[in-house]
Amino acid sequence: MSILLALLYPIAVQYERGGLWRVVMPITLVTLAIDVIANFTELALLTWDYPRVGEYTFSDRLLRLQHNEDWRGVIARVVVRYCNFFYATHIRG
């Protein structure tokens, strides 16, 4: 599920960036659903960290995880770098 999320992310952020948002809106909605489900299941197990209140998507949780000094922080910073490559202001730190 997380691989599918990584593949769909560059398309889904086009909605937030503007442009042809009506074209990518169905992909964005599917990606959002995958993001929420993966955040509470697979990605919670992979990071060994359950989302806190208000952290519905994985990018919300990355805002907190990227400041950790342990292995979670290292992985989170790599994922943030990937996400910000496609949409520079999506995840700030």
In a domain, 26, yes or no: yes
Span 25-63, pLDDT tens digits: 888 888 889 989 999 999 999 889 999 999 998 888 988
**50, amino acid identity:** Y
CB 90 within 8 A of CB 84: yes
User: What is the arithmetic mean of pLDDT over 56-71?
Assistant: 90
The winner for highest mean pLDDT among 4-8, 37-41, 85-89 is 37-41
In a domain, 28, yes or no: yes
In a domain, 93, yes or no: no
Q: What share of residues in the chain are helix, strand, coil (percent, to 5)? A: 70, 0, 30
pLDDT band of 17, cuts 50, 70, 90: low
For 33, the domain range is: 2-86
In a domain, 91, yes or no: no
CB atoms within 10 A of CB 10: 14
